[in-house]
Amino acid sequence: MSSNKTFTMIKPGAVRNKHIGHILSKIEEAGFTIAAIKTTQMSLQVAAEFYAVHKDKPFFQELISFMSSGPIIAMVLLKDNAVEDFRKLIGATDPDKAEEGTIRKLFATSKTANAIHGSDSDENAEKESAFFFARQEWLRSSEVVL
Ligand code: CMP
């Protein structure tokens, strides 16, 4: 059974380009409840930790450098089938391949600066939520009535 939680970050490029409001509207209009939200900035080291699974990929240095280049908006989102539905809403990693109307099609400028992150599994949604939010914060978020 799939969980009702996912984790997302609006990435530094989309924050710099002032797309926060528009992206939050798309998320809410798609039926997600924003259960936890904060602005923060990752150091290079923290970004490397968050994306450790990609450490051997050729794009890793560019990715962590970009992700630590400015503020992000971290969020825990609630909805039935959250992980899968959110990945549909944001679209493909490569904005050239993202479907019309998706957040990445609208706001991404490259594969690295692709506007938004979304967890790829229920397990990673839990881990990533815990990476950014204190246990108390995200446990309380699970009590939000959908
Ligand atoms: P994200 O959802 O944050 O998860 C990992 C990130 O790595 C991804 O979005 C992209 O920004 C980046 N990424 C994945 N594949 C590539 C690639 N082939 N080239 C550059 N960046 C990539």
Q: Do the beta carbons of residue 146 and residue 81 sit within 8 Å?
A: no
pLDDT along the chain (146 residues), means of 10: 86 98 98 95 98 98 98 96 98 97 98 98 96 83 63
* 54 catalytically annotated: no
Give residue 144 CA to ligand 1 midpoint distance, Å.
Answer: 31
Give residue 10 CA to ligand 1 midpoint distance, Å.
Answer: 14
Give residue 111 CA to ligand 1 midpoint distance, Å.
Answer: 6
Residue nearest to atom 11 of ligand 1 (CA): 112
pLDDT of residue 145: 61
Burial class (CB in 10 A: 0-12, 13-18, 19+), 27: buried
Give residue 36 CA to ligand 1 midpoint distance, Å.
Answer: 24
Q: Do the beta carbons of residue 102 and residue 91 sit within 8 Å?
A: yes
Pocket test for ligand 1, best of 89, 114, 117, 121 (most atoms within 8 A of CB): 114
Residue nearest to atom 3 of ligand 1 (CA): 117
The answer to whether the Cα torsion of 34, 69, 20, 95 is positive or negative is negative
pLDDT of residue 138: 74
Buried b (16+ CB within 10 A) or exposed e, 90-99: bbbeebeebe
pLDDT of residue 15: 98
Q: Do the beta carbons of residue 113 and residue 125 sit within 8 Å?
A: no
Ligand 1 neighbours (beta carbon < 6 A): 54, 59, 63, 93, 111-112, 114, 117
Closest alpha carbon to 10 in 126, 130, 106, 124: 106
